[in-house]
Chains A and B, each alone.
Chain A
Amino acid sequence: MKKVFLISVFVSLLVSCGVYQLQKSEGVSVGVTDLDSDNSELIDMVAPYKNSLDSTMNEVIAISDMEMSTGSPQGLLGNWACDLSLEIGNEHYKEVSEFEADFSLLNNGGLRTFLPEGEVTRRKIFEIMPFENELVVITLSPEKTAELFRFIAAKTVKEGNRKQGVPVSSNIELYIKEQLPVNVLIDSVPLKGRNYRVITSDYLANGGDNMSFFLNPVSYEKLGIKLRDAMLVHCERETKKGKALTSNLDKRIMYVN
């Protein structure tokens, strides 16, 4: 009997694999709540920052008549922010220009939380508008202006989440049918084939939130005031006048059948 030994060498075929084989995996979300721990290590780290902030942020700077949220076709918060931006923006514009801006436009995504009914602290305004965006005046050609209203109509839904809908100032009347603008009035006058001056934030003016109609405008003028500061000025003014903050849903953006 002859014995033959065959020697075969197994070369690693699976060099790309590690040594450990994954047998099971699963994932959950765990709620972060008070675990009744005595540990205050991080609270202690935060304390000096918190104390410095609280002294200014906890101040009640206005009273609001209502809770305001963003929405589509309109939301109370977006309407409020656009109206005060047009008013305060134009006050600043007057100092550098012989013109007045025609209307204002912001975005719902930039208004980060709702405004509560009752006491409004400086902190709340920072939470609504945490970004350092400045107000600017953009002069748009007739074509770009038409594009702006088409953009709003396309983005506006009858009942949407906070990311939908585009807030504008109260002097606009935009009628939408099947996601298209069927009629636009500004200060009760139908849209004309002229340039329009729009107050918005520099974030949107630079094409943010896909607002490409703002790019390459006829002119781009800075107003030297942040959107958040405009909100703070508005709050302080209303309080000084003894008035509460208020907003309403009107005819600025509407669906027609």
Chain B
Amino acid sequence: MTLWFVFALMTAAAIFAVLWPLGRHGRPQKDGSEAVVYKDQLTEIDRDVAAGLIGSSEAEAARVEISRRLLAAAANQRDPPLASSLSLRRSAAIIALIGLPIVAVALYLPLGSPQLGDFPLAQRTRAPDGAQPLENLVAQVEAHLEKNPTDGRGWNVIAPVLARLGRYDDAVRAYRNSITYNGDSAQRRADLGEAIAGAAGGVITAEAKAEFERAVALNADEVKATYFLGVAAEQDGRTAEAGSIWRAMLEKAPSDAPWRPLVQAALARIGGSSAPVLSDDAMAAAKDMSESDRGAMIRGMVERLAVRLKQNGDDVEGWLRLVRAYMVMGDHDKAKSALTDARQAVANDAERLRQLNQGLKNLGLDG
């Protein structure tokens, strides 16, 4: 309500600005005219001559010129303004009284948001809102940390959130600060390495690897760091090393370790396990099955893969998986025929053929 009251006051002030001169018509008006200017100029010349700025002959010439203009101006005098007419003043007043508010409201209503109050930041931070989206909370913590960069606990809290939000670069910085202010620990180093790898799109860079190595040096049982060292080895093409790292992890691990499936899947990826074609979910499902059911499930999946590859033979990875699966299942004939099919399917594409051969070499086939 106060807002509309303020608007009304402002409108009244604007209308008053128009009405004011309309009410002052009786006063005599000061009006500059040409003759005044020329007369001023003539006195100016007298002053210049007295100050010695111009010679008397130049002054005389200037006087003649200006006097000539003065005469012309007097002949050409503006007509004095007529007296003001009452009807004109009345219509002007009506325009101001009616037109101004209409124009103002007509323009303001579609553009403005009169229902919204002000939201200065100082007021809002005093009353934190539980329903705020995560980004706002993160922004608040970040703002707090910008001002108090030595608050180690804050960095500890924000770092994993940033990593989960996909802001890996910021997460890297946060973990670094956390290490600086909270002290070094294997877990923090491992998290830092993971964030660095995340920033690099999942590639374990030399920098990330150095962090994992530091973590393992601090604590040889640090699971995350060990796992990622395996990934690093895998990405470098040293699959055997990766396999041994992971197998060692599984051996040492308690049977109910939550990361077991992950490591098993990784092992499967590099072909070091007995069920290489299974995805994580399938693996979890297969755990609870009887031996024969599991075998049937695996065979079914391999058949499906074979059918898919018959329809679309471009998938080099797929072919490699299929060949590997047949070999693991001990079906060497099918493995050979799959190999021939794969060669035919990608024969027209030199790059794929190269990938295929490389992959087969890794499987220990053909050479």
- Tell whether A and B belong to one assembly: no
The interface of chain A, by Cβ under 8 A from chain B, is none
The interface of chain B, by Cβ under 8 A from chain A, is none
